[in-house]
Structure formats: C-alpha cells, structure tokens
C-alpha cells in the first residue's frame, strides 16, 4: 500500500463530504466543479496557507506537526477515529524514508497465560484478533459461537475473508451489510497504523480482487474503532442471538484485541447462549476445543 496515496485519498474523501453550510462558510453561489470544499477553503479553516495544504493533500507529509494535524482535523471535522487515522497516515508516510522506524508485523500468537485466562471465562464467548482481523484465539464458547467462520477455513482464519468471501456470512450476520462496512473501516484504520504489513497488503489485495463490494467500500476511506456494540447473529444450532460486545486491547499481548460477548440477562438470547454453551460442553472437551482452535489458527 502506498502511504502517500492513502494520505492524499483520505484527505480528498473527507473534504468531499463537507459542504459550505457544514463548514460555516458563506455561499456566494456559482458552480462548483468538485463536491465538498475546495482546498483553499480547508486551508483557510485550518489556519495555514493554501500551498501548504495542497502539498499535504498530495501526500507530502514532511515536517507536519501535531498542531497542523489538529488544525486539519478541525477543518475537516474529523471524528476521533478519523483524527487518529490521519495521524497514523502522516507518521507512516514520514517513516517511509526511515525503514528502521517501521512497525513490526502484527502478532499471531497469544501467550499461554492469556489463553488460560480466556479459557477460564466459560460463561461468555471470547474471541481474540489482531489488527488484520485474523483469529488468534478463542475460548470454547467463542469457538462454538463462530463455528461457521472456522469450519473449513484456510489459515489464518480471518473475519474479513469470512464476511466477504463465504456465502454463509450473509446468513450468520443478520445485518450483514452493516458488518461489511464495519470490517472495511477497521481494516482501513489498521492500514494507517501498519502500512508496511505485507500480510495486510496481501489480504486487501485478495479481497479487492475477489469482492466488488469490498473494493467499493475500500475506496470510500472510512475508518472506525471497534470498541462496543450489538451483534445480531443467526447461529445454525441455536438460532437468533442478540449479543453485546466489548473490546479490550491486551496490555500483555500488544497488538491483540479481545472481544467479549454477552446477552441481556433473562432474554431469549441469554437462554440460547446457554444452550450453545451446553452443546459446546457436550460436544467438546477443553483439550479438544484447544486443539481445534490451534489447528484452525496455525
């Protein structure tokens, strides 16, 4: 992935989303050749020269300070995730000339202590992933919940590959279209943080080649954090589930994120999640579940 092109395209896409009214600028009428604001208008709002902003939008991030990033973020009305993404794009664009500053590839293993911890969380599904959305580890209930994703998948098992390339995903995720947008937005954010991750580049290339929808969404340059929300799933064994998820970055395993799913107490989803836990218990021993996860994640 070309970080200078990504920076240029991201800024252009955010500028195109703003109107004069949203930006608080007067509209004197007349025909505008491009959607959204002009570069000169963004520069005015950001408190910098038009030439400086044009240089930045062309992908030249040399010497860009945090104050400049903050000014551009305010001018383009970026949210927190977009602001962080802009910062990472500028950081990686500058790191391109200094290979020693490039980040290492994302982790692909969980420490034994952390695996023991998630195995002990037996009443809730747990799913650990890296920034590429590779499945790194699960507990037994997590493996049962996402059995469709693991069944028959080639390693590394990957949530984006499942959502876009496996027809079962459109049934498994009741709001599949929303999930496609979320997946792409998460990968976009990761691309800003880890532009030199070869496996991420290969994944994006594969999905772009094999999925027209992914290619379209990728071109929108939307970014999103993956912190909390509601997942509406249709599980092949227990039926419909509405599960709240919380995500946590693992301090002991940097680069990994743990997703914990739960159902509202007393709800139909809670009853069905318990049925799934009973099924997982009767159809797998802890050692078998661990072995199954290891086979799929290796």
pLDDT tens-digit readout, 199-254: 999 999 999 999 999 999 999 999 988 789 999 999 999 999 999 999 999 877 77
pLDDT for res 181: 96
pLDDT at 89: 92
**Cα angle value 253/92/184 (rounded, 5°):** 70
Token pair of 139 as six digits: 């507990």
pLDDT at 134 over 70: yes
| Least confident residue range of 8-17, 58-67, 101-110, 146-155 | 101-110
Query: Is residue 106 a part of any domain in this protein?
Result: no
Length of the chain: 298
CA angle 231/236/240 to nearest 5° reads 40
Residues 6+ apart with CB under 8 A from 253: 107, 110, 111, 114, 128
pLDDT score of 107: 59
Same domain, 96 and 118: no
Higher pLDDT, 51 or 1: 51
The answer to whether residues 123 and 83 belong to one domain is no
Looking at the fold, whether 245 and 214 belong to one and the same domain comes out as yes
Residue 185 is assigned to a structural domain of this protein:
yes
Distance of CA 49 to the CA centre of its chain: 34
Choose the final residue of a domain: 81, 101, 121: 101
Task: Give CA angle at 8 (4, 9), nearest 5°.
Answer: 115
In this predicted structure, what is the pLDDT of residue 149? 96
Highest mean pLDDT range out of 2-11, 84-93, 261-270?
261-270
Q: What is the pLDDT of residue 130?
A: 94
Q: Which of 2-6, 65-69, 174-178, 268-272 has the lowest mean pLDDT?
A: 2-6
Which CATH number covers residue 66? 1.10.260.40
Residue 10 has pLDDT above 60, yes or no: yes
How many structural domains comprise the chain?
A: 2
As a whole number, mean pLDDT of residues 156-184 equals 97
Beta-bridged to residue 128, according to DSSP, are 137, 258
Percentages of the chain per state (helix, strand, coil), in multiples of 5: 55, 15, 35
Whole-number percent of the chain with pLDDT over 70: 90
CATH number, position 221: 3.30.450.180
As a whole number of angstroms, the distance between CA 238 and CA 186 comes to: 29
Same structural domain for residues 20 and 82?
yes
Name 14's Cβ contacts closer than 8 Å, sequence gap at least 6.
76, 78, 82, 221
Q: Which pLDDT band holds residue 96 (cuts at 50, 70, 90)?
A: low
Which domain-ending residue is among 67, 101, 135? 101
pLDDT in tens, 11-61: 999 999 999 999 999 887 777 877 899 999 999 999 999 999 999 999 999
Model confidence band, residue 125 (pLDDT cutoffs 50, 70, 90): very high
Give the confidence band of 110 by pLDDT, cuts at 50, 70, 90. Answer: confident
Kindly state whether residues 119 and 24 are assigned to the same domain: no
Average pLDDT, the chain: 89
- Average pLDDT for residues 269-278, to the nearest whole number? 97
Q: What pLDDT sits at residue 278? A: 95
Residue 124 near residue 262 (C-beta atoms within 8 A): yes
- If one compares 104 and 284, the residue with the highest pLDDT of the two is 284
Evaluate if residue 189 carries a pLDDT over 90.
yes
User: Is the omega angle on the peptide bond into residue 235 within 30 degrees of 0, that is, cis?
Assistant: no
Are residues 91 and 226 both part of a single domain? no
Q: Is the pLDDT of residue 103 over 80?
A: no
**Is 143 part of any domain?**
yes
Return the pLDDT at 106.
54
Domain span holding position 207: 112-297
């Amino acid at each position: 992935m070309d970080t200078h092109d990504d920076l240029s395209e991201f800024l252009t896409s955010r500028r195109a989303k703003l109107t004069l009214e949203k930006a608080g600028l007067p509209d004197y009428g007349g025909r505008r050749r491009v959607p959204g604001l002009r570069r000169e208008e963004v520069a005015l709002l950001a408190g910098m020269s038009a030439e400086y902003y044009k240089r930045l939008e062309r992908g030249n991030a040399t010497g860009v300070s945090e104050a400049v990033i903050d000014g551009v973020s305010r001018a383009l009305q970026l949210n927190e995730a977009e602001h962080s993404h802009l910062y990472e794009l500028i950081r990686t664009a500058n790191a391109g000339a200094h290979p020693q500053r490039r980040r290492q590839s994302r982790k692909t293993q969980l420490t034994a202590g952390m695996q023991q911890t998630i195995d002990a969380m037996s009443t809730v599904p747990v799913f650990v992933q890296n920034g590429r959305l590779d499945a790194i580890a699960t507990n037994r209930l997590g493996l049962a919940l996402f059995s469709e994703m693991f069944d028959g998948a080639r390693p590394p098992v990957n949530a984006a590959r499942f959502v876009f390339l496996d027809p079962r995903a459109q049934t498994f995720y009741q709001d599949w279209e929303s999930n496609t947008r979320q997946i792409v937005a998460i990968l976009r954010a990761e691309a800003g943080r880890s532009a030199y991750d070869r496996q991420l580049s290969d994944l994006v290339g594969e999905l772009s080649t094999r999925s027209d929808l992914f290619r379209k969404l990728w071109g929108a340059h939307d970014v999103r954090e993956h912190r909390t929300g509601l997942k509406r799933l249709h599980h092949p064994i227990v039926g419909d589930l509405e599960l709240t998820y919380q995500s946590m970055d693992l301090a002991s395993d940097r680069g990994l994120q743990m997703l914990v799913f739960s159902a509202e107490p007393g709800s139909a989803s809670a009853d069905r999640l318990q049925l799934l836990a009973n099924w997982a218990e009767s159809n797998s021993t802890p050692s078998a579940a661990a072995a199954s996860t290891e086979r799929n994640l290796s």
